[in-house]
Amino acid sequence: MENSSKLNVLILAAGLGTRLRPLTNDVPKPLVPVVDASILDLQARKARAIGNVRLHANAHYLAEQVVAAGETLGFEKVWVELPEILGTAGPLHRIYAAGYRGGLLIMNGDAYCDFDLKKFVESAVARASLENGPQVSLLAVDFPQVNTFRVGVDGRLAGIAGRFGATEGAPATFSGVSWYSDEALSRIREGEFDIREFWKQELAAGRAPFVDMTQLHATWIDMGSPEGLMAAVEARLKELGRDVNEAVVEPGAKIPAGVTLKHSVIYKGAEIQPGETIVNEIRGKGFKWNVPPTPVY
């Protein structure tokens, strides 16, 4: 499988989606529709915009649906993780051990973002080519509610608050987007689960990952909660040039006569009464969530 002409891209899609249940009882979170496409689809489009890439995803919960979507979207492979999920480090080791080369870009299957991925990867590759250059790059955002990263004056990861390393340094939040050289991937051991433990090992060995802080204020939305899902819908509507207060109705959802919809998302199976007014809601089979518009600061 030795082939370094293409960048490998892994979209993490194995999560259980517990914060979005019961919406995710029947569909895995990466396949939840966000206006016109799933996050898996949207992330794949952003990855392909980099250029010459080979797409991968991992899958665990409702894995057969992710496998089918990967085939439809033209993925190289969907790596099913059964009976147990392998964390983040496990899938990275698995791809490298299978012989894939050319570096690996990691993306999350539950994040809506507008990062310049090509710029990120090109910068990461350039840094890695330098003498003693960092072989791992982590893309950061400014998210004050989290901001657990501590970044040293050299731009490298100095620690993670509450876990390891320095308590001082520039604060930032990991976006879930990262790049690993083949050299770095070769050091992830079989059975390793938590990627943060690998970062800790790299830091201790004098090979701390670089933290790219050039896109701190790009759009980055964790769509794993009802509020995040609504924010992702708003962002997608804006990206499509549509009104962010528009109601979005999944194909197949039944809307009775006389219903008024505004700033709402209606999924298949939603129970709606004739003449009902629905505002600031996400509604589907067996649930309805009240979700106000995302605040604008």
Structure confidence by residue, pLDDT tens digits, 191-247:
999 999 999 999 999 999 999 999 999 999 999 899 999 999 999 999 999 999 999
Residue 289, domain extent: 245-297
Task: Check which CATH number belongs to the domain holding 202 and give it.
Answer: 3.90.550.10
Instruction: List per-residue pLDDT tens for the chain, 297 residues long.
Output: 555 679 999 999 999 989 999 999 999 999 999 999 999 999 999 999 999 999 999 999 999 999 999 999 999 999 999 999 999 999 999 999 999 999 999 999 999 999 999 999 999 999 999 999 999 999 999 999 999 999 999 999 999 999 999 999 999 999 999 999 999 999 999 999 999 999 999 999 999 999 999 999 999 999 989 999 999 999 999 999 999 999 999 999 999 999 999 999 999 999 999 999 999 999 999 999 999 887 654
Q: Are 177 and 256 in a shared domain?
A: no
Q: Are 274 and 140 in a shared domain?
A: no
Q: Are 268 and 198 in a shared domain?
A: no
Structure confidence by residue, pLDDT tens digits, 135-162:
999 999 999 999 999 999 999 999 999 9
Q: Are 202 and 252 in a shared domain?
A: no
Q: Are 90 and 37 in a shared domain?
A: yes
Confirm whether 44 is domain-assigned: yes
Q: Are 146 and 282 in a shared domain?
A: no
What pLDDT, on the 0 to 100 scale, is given for residue 297?
A: 40
What pLDDT, on the 0 to 100 scale, is given for residue 171?
A: 97
Q: Are 95 and 46 in a shared domain?
A: yes
Contacts 24+ apart (CB under 8 A), 127-136: 127/210, 128/181, 128/183, 134/207, 134/208, 134/209, 134/210, 135/180, 135/181, 135/183, 135/184, 135/207, 136/178, 136/179, 136/180, 136/181, 136/184, 136/199, 136/202, 136/207, 136/209, 136/210
Q: Are 254 and 200 in a shared domain?
A: no
Confirm whether 261 is domain-assigned: yes
Confirm whether 235 is domain-assigned: no
Q: Are 259 and 203 in a shared domain?
A: no
**Where a domain ends, among 194, 212, 230?**
212
**Where a domain ends, among 196, 212, 228?**
212
Confirm whether 217 is domain-assigned: no
Say how many domains are in the chain.
Answer: 2
Confirm whether 239 is domain-assigned: no
Q: Are 125 and 83 in a shared domain?
A: yes
What pLDDT, on the 0 to 100 scale, is given for residue 5?
A: 78
